[in-house]
């Protein structure tokens, strides 16, 4: 997990497990999205309800290497990949807390847009600074 600048806990839920007894693949995207948004609120100055710009998911992907199962707690490692003028690629590693096994590796691309018209805008300066200070390797 050392390769990630930020680690966050993500608890699984009873209904995350599918009929095969595994956390459903789509839940890993919820884990990434939640970890990223929580970081944006706590460190990047994001105001979900009233801020002028919002991050919209432009692309995402995930490779699964092992299965998680409720009641596992997951740990989501987060770092910044490509930091463009209006977009930011987040890189994540999702681990099982109990034994540290890597379950999935994901990528999540945010484009920042203005709230009203949903057109791309530059990444806010405070957010850019926070990402560079904390999440760039």
Looking at 21-29, 81-89, 94-102, 125-133, which segment touches its own copies (CB under 8 A)? 21-29
- Cross-strand partners of 95: 75, 102
CB of 32 to its own copies, least distance (A): 9
Asked if 15 interacts with its own copies (CB under 8 A), we say yes
Q: Does 61 bind its own copies (CB under 8 A)?
A: yes
137 binds its own copies (CB under 8 A): no
Nearest-angstrom CA–CA distance, 97 and 120: 37
98 binds its own copies (CB under 8 A): no
Q: Output b/e per residue, 19-38; b: 16+ Cβ within 10 A.
A: eeebbeeebbbebbbebbeb
In the bound state with its own copies, the residue whose beta carbon lies nearer, of 2 and 59, is 59
Closest distance to its own copies from the beta carbon of 137 (Å): 23
Token pair of 91 as six digits: 């890189």
- SS3 (DSSP) at 32: helix
125 binds its own copies (CB under 8 A): no
Q: Assign residue 2 a region (left: φ > 0; alpha: ψ between -120 and 50; beta: otherwise).
A: alpha
Q: How far is the CB of 4 from its own copies (least distance, A)?
A: 19
- 25 touches its own copies by CB under 8 A: yes
Phi and psi at residue 65, in whole multiples of 5°? -110, -20
């Amino acid at each position: 997990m050392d390769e990630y600048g930020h680690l966050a806990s993500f608890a699984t839920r009873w209904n995350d497990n599918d009929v095969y007894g595994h956390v459903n693949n789509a839940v890993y995207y919820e884990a990434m999205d939640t970890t990223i948004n929580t970081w944006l609120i706590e460190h990047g100055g994001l105001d979900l309800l009233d801020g002028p710009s919002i991050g919209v998911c432009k692309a995402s992907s995930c490779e699964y290497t092992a299965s998680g199962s409720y009641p596992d707690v997951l740990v989501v490692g987060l770092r910044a990949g490509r930091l463009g003028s209006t977009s930011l690629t987040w890189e994540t590693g999702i681990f099982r807390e109990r034994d540290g096994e890597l379950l999935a590796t994901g990528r999540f691309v945010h484009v920042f847009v203005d709230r009203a018209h949903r057109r791309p805008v530059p990444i806010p300066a405070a957010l850019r600074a926070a990402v560079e200070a904390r999440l760039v390797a």
